[in-house]
Amino acid sequence: MCGIAGIIYRDESLVGHLGADLAALIQPLESRGPDSSGIALYTRPIAAGQVKLVLRGEAGVDWGAVQDWIEQAVPVLDTHVTADDRRFILDLTQDLPFQVNEFRRALRTAFPSLHVMSLGQGLEIYKEVGAVDNLIQKYGLTTFQGTHGIAHTRMATESVVDIDHCHPFTTNFDLAIVHNGQISNYYRLRFQLERAGMVFETHNDSETIVNYIHYQLLQGKSLEESLEALLHDIDGTYTFLVATPDKVALVRDKFAAKPAVIYEAADKVAIASEYRSLLQLSNFDPNALIREPDAGEINIWPVTTPAQTAAVLSVIGS
């Protein structure tokens, strides 16, 4: 049993509330998952050709050596220190002798005590073992800004409790998932995906979901098509959220075995495992559309630009 939550803002003026709203959503869900918690948030994208690399280091990691190694591979434009993490802004505008995912694997091989949290133009992932308050206090979560994000509280049932096995999971630029449930055909799917070239870093069955979606996207499928294929190919009981730079999706299995509640108002969309979490939202609207998704239902919400936001608010208000 785990807790999942997500937010998509329809009102540009609310982006300063993202960290606080995600924290408010997952605090009540700690009863569903006391072992660890994590967030994936999407800020405004940085300049074209640049990416944010968020790393978590275990005690004793030599950050000076890490930075030297990275700078020998790719130009570093900026470094930001956050608790046990480092956030690097990398310049990918030059011709590089490697693919970015090769760089990620090589970095992890060179420094086994490093954890690659996220890589992307907008995506930043932060995780912490233990109580949700550990995550909030360590990173000053309530100060974070962004357009949308997803979050998780974990109760470990089939794999160890450590940073690598915490949610959210990511495998590619700006792609993240959080999951509640079990994947029954995990080993078969993992074998198939690894043969197709996908890389697994943990023994958490949730990693199958993000690798499956990543693989489908590489085949040229849309997010919608990828999720429809997933419902057909993945067995188990699950509800999960997937986030990209411009969309957030909620998928519920064909048995509706795992809970989810959707809140849709003029200014935001929020999703949580339990209704009581939604009551903690800033500016909670009791007249909002609040519903439970059906079995096998896929919901996808666009992340709106300011111009699109104005149109959405106009339609809702009419």
283: left (phi over 0), alpha (psi -120 to 50) or beta: left
φ and ψ at residue 119, rounded to 5 degrees? -150, 125
- Residue 95 CA to residue 156 CA, distance in Å, equals 42
Secondary structure, 3-state, 167-184: CCECCCCCCEEEEEEEEC
Active site residue 166: no
User: Per the residue annotation, which of 1, 2, 127, 254 is the catalytic one?
Assistant: 2
In contact, 146 and 18? CB cutoff 8 Å? yes
Quick one: which of 264, 257, 251, 266 has its CA closest to 291?
A: 264
Taking residue 12's Cβ as centre, other Cβ atoms within 10 Å add up to 15
Neighbouring CB atoms inside 10 A of 260's CB total 24
C-alpha span between 284 and 276 (Å, rounded):
11
Residues designated as active site:
2
